A and B are shown apart, each in its own frame.
Chain A
Amino acid sequence: MTDTALAPAFEIRPPGFWRGLLHIAALELRQRLRSRTLLVLAIVWFCLIGVVTGAMWLWLSAMSGAYGQGFDSYPLFSVIVYFVLLFGTLVAPAISAGSISAERSGGTLATTQVTLIGTWSLLLGKALAAWITGFAFLVVAAPFVVASLLLSRTDPLQLLVAVLALALQIGVFTVFGVALSAMISSQVFAIVTAYLLVALLSIGTLIAFALSVGVSTRYVDITYQTFSPSYWNAVDACSAGSNDEAAIARCTEAVPVECVTEATTVPISPTSGIWWVLTPNPFVIVADMVAPRADGPRSSDDLFSGISTLVRGLQDDRAQAQAWSDCPAPRNAPAAGSAETGAPVWWIGAAIQLTLAVGLLWAGHRRLRTPAAKLPRGARVA
């Protein structure tokens, strides 16, 4: 060709994928740092989480004082981490879903696309910048998260896992936001859609699960063995008019066991087919990642263990489907131990979320690619 005649005075080389990505992220972060709104938001956030931590600690100490127990603020850690997650889900769409549509409406998107920055560098650089911004809110909250860890005497390993889990969730939500802002021209609509998507995961999964359970509940007639009324009458008679505990016990032992078979209708809600609906819920993922192992000494004292145990237990229908028998020997329902058979669920939820994020990024990339094949009606790429 005539490249020699038209060669530029100095060599121009494309910055490449990684350098381009970091350049876009740095450019975005520099602009974010200049704006005052983020600083104000961070200060408000710091005060808010401080108040929540203090109030929660007062509440727990007053409660344990009233019941004369040794002071145990173990649940504090899970409450604070959940509060950080809640804030993350509320802030992530706001700091991410405007990043590309703002440049589009500001007229700076096309001037970037016409340079040697690749579309993936642009998209992922924006996502990285939004993620780092979200992570900054985590850092602002760090003093209180660490304080709650110390107060509740939690395993430091849990703190590490909690930070990882929160970073993962905030990262996923910011990627959603950036991808949506690439796909949707209107900045307001992109942000609203990002909020709806986060709400779909946080609340929508709960609604979907509850409705599925309701729809699939069957009412079955079962028979069960129980003590006959005459047996209970005889036992009652033993304690009537006597205060001698030993005598009552002897009398009760002597009552002949008499069993009857009775029928009743119970609702059965098989959850083994739909429990996975709950897994992409960010609160479930964090709980299941951070919860201490179920066989630990404090397996159900905090929010994380409670939720984790519950969701893992849903994988197994046997607990509720079994007919039971009180007679001849009273037995407890076979609940104990069955929950531990459930497998960890966080990775399933994380996989669903990541699939969604990758799909949205791909769609965003298609929309952002130049030369553009399609334009929405009335839109100018400049």
Chain B
Amino acid sequence: MEPAIEAVGLSRSFGEIPVVHNATLSVAPGEITALVGPNGSGKTTLMLMLATLLRPDRGTVRIAGRDAIADPLAARTALGWMPDALGVWPALTVRETLLAVCGMYGLRGAAAAERTDELLAQTELAELAGQRSNTLSRGQKQRLSLARALVHRPRVLLLDEPASGLDPEARLTQRRMLTELAADGVAILVTSHVLDELDEISTGVVFLRRGLTTAPEAVDAALQRGSRWRIRSLDERALVAELDRLGIPATSRASLSGTVHLIDAADEAAAANALSALVAAGVPVVEFSPASSALEQAFVRLSHPGSESATAPEEPR
């Protein structure tokens, strides 16, 4: 299947400073791809180029098969973009905002009203339809912004930090929505700093570091590589003794659910072996899980490619 988003060799510099350098990525219809990278790695610049707002110095962008640089208008009919800045027209109500955006896509009258009602229902904004958009909370503005990006049923969605500032429930709702859209065949490229979030919904990942996309093989390797695991047992002393006997170094740390022990495993097979050894020895293990998400581990590894021993930050759950 032809990719819905395809960028090849994208480069862009501002003045003398290269921000994005030879970035290449592709997202197939129905796929949710995470675009991750440290702050200032060029994510937003790359998104702007994909969104036909910024002209790349070099490289090509195809959105739904259309050349986004030569014919931005054709690309825009298939493109929905949600920026990280949540701008609203302060004097307009939620419904008026969506109607205005409908007009910008050539929808008028009954068609626009119908589409607006659909979007209000889809993003659960129907109750707020008559409210001025500057009175909305951040989470509500996020939903309005997403609704605005969906007005013309785009086949491609570019979401820049869609989950920032959302409460856990709103995140769940948004995650469900994105999964549904992907199931309908929409290609979604999403950036976020909440890596757990992306871990759960994305089917692919593009890593951007200093404006350079990391090769997919390197990303796969980083995702597969084993790392730190957390273990919690009903009998803490038995666990410590058994780990000691097995010769697995461990550190202990207090968490909300009790004391946990962290071990390092070379890969997933080593982790599985350690678990079966513990269980076989009769240690009552109630929790055995990665200390951080695969994406988070990969993020840290790829951000510091020099330090082989780098491990993910220990994040209490």
Spell out A's residues near B (CB within 8 Å).
1-3, 5-6, 8-10, 12-16, 19-20, 23, 27, 30-31, 34-35, 103, 106-118, 370-373, 375, 377, 380-382
Contact = CB atoms under 8 A, between A and B. Distances in A.
B247 to A, nearest CB: 53
Nearest to A104: B87
Given A8-B155, A106-B87, A116-B104, A14 B53 contact: no
A370 B78 CA distance: 16
A224 B46 CA distance: 82
B15 A115 contact: no
A114 B51 contact: yes
Residue among A15, A27, A115 having the largest count of chain B Cβ atoms under 10 Å: A115
B104 A115 contact: yes
B83 A110 contact: yes
A116 B106 contact: yes
Secondary structure at chain B's binding surface: helix, strand, loop or mixed? loop
Given A5-B2, A371-B72, A373-B55, 14 more contacts: A6-B29, A6-B78, A9-B153, A107-B83, A108-B89, A110-B87, A111-B83, A114-B79, A114-B81, A116-B77, A116-B105, A371-B52, A375-B14, A381-B48
A116 B76 contact: yes
A115 B101 contact: yes
B106 A14 contact: yes
A113 B75 CA distance: 13
A377 B85 contact: no
A32 to B, nearest CB: 8
A15 B100 CA distance: 12
A370 B44 CA distance: 16
A129 to B, nearest CB: 13
Interface in B62-108: 64-66, 68-69, 72-73, 76-79, 81, 83-92, 96, 100-101, 103-107
A381 to B, nearest CB: 5
Nearest to A375: B14
Contacts of A377: 14-15
Interface in B37-51: 44, 48-49, 51
B104 A20 contact: yes
Contacts of B65: 1-3, 6
Nearest to A10: B153
A375 B160 CA distance: 20
A51 to B, nearest CB: 31
Interface residues of B, number: 53
Contacts of A20: 104
A124 to B, nearest CB: 15
B301 interface: no
Contacts of B90: 31, 106
Contacts of B73: 14, 116, 118
B54 A114 contact: no
B211 interface: no
A35 B92 CA distance: 11
Contacts of A373: 55
* Chain A to chain B: the 7 pairs with minimum beta-carbon distance, closest first: A107-B87, A115-B104, A34-B91, A107-B85, A371-B55, A108-B87, A382-B83
B85 A380 contact: yes
Instruction: Specify which of A15, A16, A35 lies most central, judged by the most chain B CB atoms within 10 Å of its CB.
Output: A15
Of B55, B77, B81, B89, most A-chain CB atoms within 10 Å: B89
Contacts of A107: 83, 85-87
A114 B2 contact: no
B162 interface: no
Report which residue of A1, A112, A380, A382 has the largest number of chain B beta carbons within 10 angstroms of its beta carbon: A382
Contacts of A371: 49, 52-56, 68-69, 72
B194 to A, nearest CB: 20
B226 interface: no
A56 B42 CA distance: 64
Nearest to B55: A371
A382 B105 contact: no
A154 B84 CA distance: 60
Contacts of A3: 64-65
A124 B227 CA distance: 58
Nearest to B3: A2
B133 to A, nearest CB: 10
Given A108-B88, A116-B73, A377-B14, A8 B106 contact: no
A8 B104 contact: no
A12 B44 contact: no
B152 interface: yes
Nearest to B72: A371
B190 interface: no
Nearest to B156: A6
B291 interface: no
B294 to A, nearest CB: 30
25 contacts: A5-B29, A10-B153, A14-B106, A15-B104, A15-B105, A16-B106, A27-B89, A27-B103, A35-B91, A103-B87, A111-B83, A111-B87, A112-B104, A114-B79, A114-B81, A115-B105, A116-B76, A371-B53, A371-B56, A371-B69, A371-B72, A380-B44, A382-B83, A382-B85, A382-B160
B105 to A, nearest CB: 6
Contact of A110 (B53, B55, B105): B53
A20 B107 CA distance: 11
B53 to A, nearest CB: 5
Q: Which of B15, B76, B79 has the most CB of A within 10 A?
A: B76
A6 B54 contact: no
A318 B173 CA distance: 84
B148 interface: yes
B81 A111 contact: yes
Contact of A8 (B1, B96, B152): B152
B76 A381 contact: no
A8 B153 contact: yes
A368 to B, nearest CB: 11
Given A372-B53, A375-B14, A382-B83, A23 B103 contact: yes
B119 to A, nearest CB: 13
B154 interface: yes
A106 B86 CA distance: 8
Contacts of B77: 8, 12, 14, 116
A72 B184 CA distance: 79
